[in-house]
Amino acid sequence: MPQVSKLTSTTSAGGCASKLSPKILDQVLARIPRWPNENVLVGFDTADDAGVYKLTPEIALVQTVDFFSPVVDDPYTFGAIAAANALSDVYAMGGQPISALSILAWPAKGDLEELAEIVKGGAEKVHEAGCTILGGHSVADNEIKFGYAVTGLIHPDRIKTNAGARPGDVLVLTKRLGTGVISTALKRGMAKEADVEGAEKSMLTLNRAACEAMLSFDVHGCTDVTGFGLIGHAREMALASHVTIEIDPRKLQFLPGAVEYASQGAIPGGLKNNREFASYCVEGQSEFDDLLYDPQTSGGLLISLSEEDAEGLERKFPSAYRMGRVIAKSGKPIRIL
């Protein structure tokens, strides 16, 4: 069993489980005043992955920010995962990250060697993405938090939002589910080392290759699966696209250990919040119900495209798999088959 060091034990609720409940977020967003701007191609109204601002008819900025408490114990790995996670929202829009600013909360008496490893892990992952760090901001805080604000570029006509899913489309996911449950099992000393390594490998993988692969097909809609879990992000896609999304739980792929730890009660606080918030829009149930709500860190892309293009994407990017489809809006936004 991996030793639980102070990194994950500094978190109050187990990594990204300390994310604000989507219910609270929804209420606050509704109260922000609106000043329409014709250059805002994607704003915060549609709950998309990143905002998009048009600079010229050929170039738009994609901007996003993400930071969280440690989900793993190794500082270097945590930094790299935080970077992969923050970059992911640019990839989910079909963009290319170009620059990043780091965000750090660090205890006044924290270990400087550990901090240096976190920052190094982040910097190397940002570099792997072909992206440059321009600066950042840090504050003293008892709970460690780390992440990035990322800026990317995109052609205004090639933005992949969560609003384009069409009836008849097939849904493809590019990573396995279960990082939240495995992080919680690690924090409780229940997780096997091999399972933690499997989850880390998945979280460390940039969505860059998945994004590049999807861009060679006619993608109708895309989002990444992160803190709100598969159902939370599928819900956003279903509502924004005015469709119903069917998920086939038998086709879902889970990280090794995830199903076992969930059944043993390693349920992140964020999973319960996600279920409480989104279960009203879900019809049907499955034996993997917990994992459908599991908050993912640096999760995969959820892509909506035609059946033919989905087959092509599976061939081009073998970790992508079909796990659902889009039908005309009928009944609730999500149906579990």
**Length of the chain in residues, anyone?**
337
317: how many CB neighbours lie within 10 A of its CB? 21
Site mask for Co ion (CB under 5 A), range 225-264, x = bound: -x--------------------------------------
The two structure tokens encoding residue 321: 């798999």
Among candidate residues 16, 131, 211, 281, the one labeled active-site is: 16
The two structure tokens encoding residue 55: 């600079």
Q: Which is nearer to Co ion, 149 or 266 (CB)?
A: 149
Q: Which is nearer to Co ion, 257 or 300 (CB)?
A: 300
Q: Which is nearer to Co ion, 43 or 265 (CB)?
A: 43
- The beta-strand segments (E) located in 51-131 are 51-54, 60-68, 96-106
Pick the piece of the chain touching Co ion (CB under 5 A) from 17-25, 41-49, 200-208, 238-246.
41-49
Phi (first) and psi of residue 37, to 5 degrees: -140, 125
The two structure tokens encoding residue 97: 């990250």
Q: Determine the Cα–Cα distance for residues 201 and 222; give it in Å rounded to an integer.
A: 23
Q: Which is nearer to Co ion, 25 or 259 (CB)?
A: 25
> 33 exposed, middle or buried (CB, 10 Å; 0-12, 13-18, 19+)?
exposed
Site for Co ion in 274-333 (CB under 5 A): none
Whether 222 is catalytic is no
Site mask for Co ion (CB under 5 A), range 141-160, x = bound: -------------------x
Among residues 19, 24, 52, the alpha carbon closest in space to that of 38 is found at 52
Whole-number CA gyration radius for the chain: 19
Q: Determine the Cα–Cα distance for residues 91 and 241; give it in Å rounded to an integer.
A: 19
Q: Does 49 bind Co ion (CB under 5 A)?
A: yes
Instruction: Provide the minimum distance between the beta carbon of 214 and Co ion in the complex, in angstroms, as a whole number.
Output: 11
Q: Which is nearer to Co ion, 5 or 21 (CB)?
A: 21
Q: Determine the Cα–Cα distance for residues 303 and 6; give it in Å rounded to an integer.
A: 37
Which residue of the chain is nearest Co ion when measured via CB?
Answer: 49
Return the residue of 92, 204, 230, 326 that touches Co ion, per CB under 5 A: 92
Instruction: Provide the minimum distance between the beta carbon of 137 and Co ion in the complex, in angstroms, as a whole number.
Output: 18
Pick the piece of the chain touching Co ion (CB under 5 A) from 90-98, 134-142, 177-185, 235-243.
90-98
Q: Determine the Cα–Cα distance for residues 29 and 166; give it in Å rounded to an integer.
A: 27
Pick the piece of the chain touching Co ion (CB under 5 A) from 46-54, 126-134, 212-220, 304-312.
46-54
Q: Do 270 and 190 touch, CB atoms closer than 8 A?
A: no
* Size of the residue set binding Co ion (CB under 5 A): 11
Instruction: Provide the minimum distance between the beta carbon of 335 and Co ion in the complex, in angstroms, as a whole number.
Output: 22
The two structure tokens encoding residue 11: 């978190």
112-128 helix and 75-92 helix, angle to the nearest 10 degrees: 30
Q: Which is nearer to Co ion, 8 or 226 (CB)?
A: 226
Q: Angle CA(222)–CA(224)–CA(226) in degrees, nearest 5?
A: 155
Residue matched to tokens 């609003």: 163
Query: What 3-state DSSP class applies to 152?
Result: strand
Q: Which is nearer to Co ion, 91 or 106 (CB)?
A: 91
Q: Does 89 bind Co ion (CB under 5 A)?
A: yes
Site mask for Co ion (CB under 5 A), range 159-198, x = bound: -xx-------------------------------------
Q: Does 105 bind Co ion (CB under 5 A)?
A: no
Active centre residues (catalytic) = 16
* Binding stretches for Co ion (CB under 5 A): 49, 66, 89, 92-93, 160-161, 222-224, 226
